[in-house]
Amino acid sequence: AQSVTQPDIHITVSEGASLELRCNYSYGATPYLFWYVQSPGQGLQLLLKYFSGDTLVQGIKGFEAEFKRSQSSFNLRKPSVHWSDAAEYFCAVGVFTGTASKLTFGTGTRLQVTL
């Protein structure tokens, strides 16, 4: 069965500093990978996705992620964090069950940004 691990429960960075959130997946086939962000009191918003092709994918709000098959990783990065980036971030892997495409989520990483 597929699974996603986000090893960091909570990360604190200073505004303007760079950010990397870790994500490791376990899946037997070619993975479809996603990063979602959840701002306080809100639903989840898609940041970016990887299906195939270029292993470095660009997303919204200046985020990018790199797929590394050899490491089973899909880490999220941002060169310079803004205070508004404080939120919870979820990595997910997509699986087609035969009836629908489902997502399996990691447990999330909460990002705190200090000014």
Partner 1 sequence: DVKVTQSSRYLVKRTGEKVFLECVQDMDHENMFWYRQDPGLGLRLIYFSYDVKMKEKGDIPEGYSVSREKKERFSLILESASTNQTSMYLCASSPSGGYSYEQYFGPGTRLTVT
Find the binder of partner 1 among 42, 71, 80, 112 (CB under 8 A): 42
**3-class DSSP state of 38:** strand
Find the binder of partner 1 among 67, 106, 111, 113 (CB under 8 A): 106
Shortest Cβ 113–partner 1 spacing (Å): 20
Q: Does 51 bind partner 1 (CB under 8 A)?
A: yes
Q: Residues 49, 53, 55, 60: what is their CA dihedral angle, to the nearest 10 degrees?
A: -30
Number of chain residues interacting with partner 1 (CB under 8 A): 27
Contact region with partner 1 (CB under 8 A), list: 22-30, 40-48, 59-67, 72-80:
40-48
Tokens 């270029």 identify what position? 54
